Amino acid sequence: MRKVFLIIVFACFIASCNVTESIVFNQDGSGEFLATYEMGEAIKAMSVAMGGDENKEKKEGGEIMDTTIVFADIMETYKDSVAALPEEKRLAMEAVKDMYMRMQINEDEGVMSFGMGMQFESIDDLKDIRKKLKKMQSLNSQGDQVNAMKENSPLGNFMGNENNDVAYIYTTDGFSRMTSIKLPDEATEDAIDELFDETDESNQQFLEYFEGSFYNVKLTFPKAVKSIDVEGAEFSDDRKTVTYKTNWVEYLKNPKLLDVNLKFVDE
């Protein structure tokens, strides 16, 4: 029963364990931030673990959806309904009014992705992006059920903690991504210890689901990148786009693994 429960939690939190964080900068310093969460493989793994057959022949004609929701448009079109929301939900809508959400589903191809993003005028606009992402997630109608799972799972407690924040610095010379970690509370420390307890067979079985999960970072600049302090980073042919990643389990242990400092080619 515990294994089934953990798999369900895994599916609910997959948006936090297989993600691509993308930032595209324009010449004037404006740009676009997008966090995309891939859920197709996780849903398939959950289905198999719950008794499904991964080799079962697929039926064609499944659901296909590619929808973008712009919160500013929603708030204008349905302003009376928004005004009538409970205060917590209404304030969350206000906090993310400059963001959009994109959902892509293709059941026949096993594709399911969920994106949250925003256009920004300067790097300063990304100062509170983590808070905005959490606000947007709080608008999910299933939020109460997910929160209940968080309270009853060491993994949920850890993945839902508020101890990490990310700062972005963009100048004419380079770019930095820096993670700050507040001192974790006792509950979070206990959750981490339990999650990575090598003597607990159930935990190890659960962590196997994360072996192929990664946190990816993709950065695109108007200038070519001269140097970067991350091993294994990949560049586009013009060296204006750089991507790197870390395994999700390693990221859980040390979020600073995604920190980066890079320098642009002198022009």
Give the residue extent of every domain in the chain: 2-264
The pLDDT score that the predictor gives to residue 141 is: 47
The pLDDT score that the predictor gives to residue 152 is: 45
Give the other-Cβ count within 10 Å of 203's Cβ: 17
Q: Is the pTM of this model over 0.85?
A: no
* d(C-alpha 249, C-alpha 255), whole Å: 10
The pLDDT score that the predictor gives to residue 159 is: 46
* d(C-alpha 261, C-alpha 249), whole Å: 23
* Residue-level pLDDT, tens digit, the chain, 267 residues: 344 334 434 444 444 457 899 999 999 999 999 998 887 665 555 555 555 555 555 556 677 888 898 989 989 998 898 899 888 888 888 889 999 988 888 877 777 888 899 999 999 999 989 888 888 877 754 444 444 444 444 444 334 445 678 999 999 999 999 998 876 666 656 656 666 666 666 666 666 666 778 899 999 999 999 999 999 999 999 999 999 999 887 887 788 999 999 999 997
The DSSP bridge partners found for residue 32 are 24, 119
The DSSP bridge partners found for residue 119 are 32
Pairing of strands 19-25, 99-106: unpaired
What are phi and psi for residue 28, nearest 5 degrees?
Answer: -85, 5
Cβ atoms of 18 and 41 within 8 Å: the answer is: yes
The token pair that represents 171 in the structure block: 């100048």
Direct distance between the N- and C-terminal alpha carbons of the chain, in angstroms, rounded to an integer: 61
